[in-house]
Amino acid sequence: MSHHAHHDHLGATALDDGSTRFLVWAPDAERVEVVLAEGERVEPLTATDRGYHEAVVSGVGPGDTYRLRLHRPDEEPVDRNDPASRWQPEGLHGPSAVDDPHHDFTDDGWVAPPLHEQVLYELHVGTFTPEGTFDAIVPRLGDLRELGVTAIELLPVWQFPGERNWGYDGVLPYAVQHSYGGPAGLRRLVDAAHAAGISVVLDVVYNHFGPEGNHLPEFGPYLTDRYDTPWGQAVNVDGPHSDAVRRYFVENAVRWVREFHVDGLRLDAVHAIPDQSAVHLLEELAREVHAEARRLGRSAFLVAESDLADPRLVRSPDLGGHGLDGQWLDDVHHALHVAFTGEQTGYYEDFDGLVDLQRALRDRYVMAGRYSPHRQRTVGRSGRDVPYFRFVACTQNHDQVGNRMLGERQSHLLEPGQLRASAGALLLAPFTPMLWMGQEYAETAPFQYFVSHTDPELVEAVRTGRRREFAYFADQGEAPDPQATETFERSRLDWSRRDADGHATVLALYRELLRLRRELPALTAPDADEATSTLHAAQTLSWRRGRASVPADDVMVVVHAGDDAVEVPLPPDAAWELVLDTAETRFDGPGGVVVRDGVLHLPGTATALLRRA
């Protein structure tokens, strides 16, 4: 990762002898000093090769605050936060602090389940509970485990401006958000989650930095103007001085596994990390994180968000891939969204409903070398050789809900029967499923875009940008103010709804679907056959899976997105029994789904699961 010894980590590392080692990459500075005790003590760092500055400073330990003073040619010295600050107890604009990495973890022997056994649950720490902290999540872990969740996936938790933010505006990737409980709070949550049998995945953002409080360019060329991204200049991972920038991100990824015991990372928008190196940054991340997990006797997986429809992300480096464990497959969301809502504006114009779910079952990507009217070019290639479980699918997530102007969930957009059928289509599909917080009981609180910036000009720019982005929603009124406290507050979950009429039966359906997913191997087992699918009509799709080693395990799933009655002939080579349908009266449905004379009769919208009798 660098010429430094493995134990010389970036930032401030507390040592056992009561001193702290400081290490910072600042090639644009002639000198760097550590400013301690609110300026009463200043200690010089020693410049070494390749732009690093370091020193061991006595009498400094966990909890002590500091800033780094940069002396740059022909400029006045400035005091800045450490780019690898581990803790910001007073927030983004306060001083950095030395973190105490020693936590009495009780998770000895914990090894996260493999990806094909995972059921992910994406949540935003600030709105998941009224308190909005790591500690407040702990009492809910039992509820999630009872539901069938195996992993919580936290939206970015590194330090961002203020106390309200989705987390993608962070500028200090090593520091854990102070208002959530800081690094100690995250360690407590991970330990408690493992005790409850739940893995922890962090959403990390290695493709850009937020606009407020970003002083990294004063230290060195962390960014490059060689490429443009939706957020401006790209991170510099393949230009001059990029070795140190790559180290900055790779060491960050490894640290979550080593010091916080996290089980996985979700990599935000990797298509916005341009890298022409012979070894792509993603491959280096995967190699180093996997190696650290093995060294610790644990496991860790990396899942990327990407819109490239390129299976190289999840193929082995031996096959020319990057070696990631999985990637988000938004195609499943888009296909089901169009099937149940009929909406085809924006990027939904590329999708036609259940016929595209069939394409995803066949090629993994809907855009597998297919022309995209939205992008006006051909996109992607088939990933048919890649196992289903490497693709994480959902029907809701923070993007698909929060990037609507009003933050509507499926509970706002779908009728109850559609909501149930959509849940069945997701959880009975062979992909690794991910739920969005609250969807398991049809939460009705929206999830809207919110920030708490302190720069008035930036606040107005964000407001203007969101209004422009939502111009085609003009018929829905005024866009919520991202800076307003009430935008954040209305996005909080209301846990009391779980037990209310209508919501409790949705929760019961999710529990039953996840139970069947665990207990019927042909649904998800890595050794199960490819799904054999049939499009019976534009709004009716079925697929069948089995295992050659156990022919009697065959299962069949039928998704009907229309509200008319349909009859679906069942394969004649076996007798089939109905295991579950989402229209059952126990789930507040109308009932009436039956198997008779080798035909499945669906009186309306429903998803049905059958198995070989």
* Known binding-site positions for substrate: 266-271, 330-334, 398-403
- What are the start-end ranges of the H helices in 428-568? 456-469, 485-489, 503-519, 521-524
DSSP class of residue 113 equals: P
Nearest to 395 by CA among 364, 442, 351, 436: 436
C-alpha span between 523 and 517 (Å, rounded): 6
Q: Is the CB of residue 283 less than 8 Å from the CB of residue 270?
A: no
Exposure class string for 503-537: b at 16+ Cβ within 10 A, else e = bebbbebbebbbebbeebbbbbbeebeebebebbe
- In the DSSP assignment, the letter for residue 318 is G
Q: Which amino acid is at 186?
A: L
Q: Which one from 238, 263, 283, 305 is the annotated catalytic residue?
A: 305
Catalytic-labelled residue, pool 268, 310, 443, 581: 268
Please tell me what DSSP assigns to residue 112.
Answer: P
* Nearest by Cα to 560 from 422, 456, 451: 422
Q: For residue 466, how many other CB atoms are within 10 A of its CB?
A: 18
* DSSP string over 242-256: HHHHHHHHHHHHHHH
Cα 556 to Cα 568: distance, rounded to the nearest angstrom: 12
Q: Is 268 annotated in the active site?
A: yes
Alpha carbon distance 286, 262 (integer Å): 14
User: Per the annotation, where are the binding residues?
Assistant: 266-271, 330-334, 398-403
Pairing of strands 151-154, 11-14: unpaired
Distances (CA, A) of 424 to 88, 148, 529: 43, 14, 20
- What are the Cα distances from residue 342, in Å, to 84, 239, 497? 47, 45, 28
Paired residues of 577 in beta bridges: 611
* 475 assigned to active site: no
Ordered DSSP codes for 363-416: HS-S-SSEEETTTTEEE----TTS-GGGEEE-S--HHHHHTSTT---HHHHS-H
- Ordered strands of the 550-560 beta sheet: 532-537, 540-547, 550-560, 606-612, 576-581
- Structure-token pair, residue 54: 């370091």
Contacts of 322-325 with C-beta under 8 Å, sequence gap 24+, read 322/280, 322/282, 322/283, 322/286, 323/282, 323/283, 323/286, 323/287, 323/290, 324/267, 324/282, 324/286, 325/115, 325/264, 325/286, 325/301, 325/390
Answer for the pair 286, 250: CB distance below 8 angstroms, yes or no: no
Residues 555/522, Cβ–Cβ less than 8 Å: yes
Active site residues: 268, 305
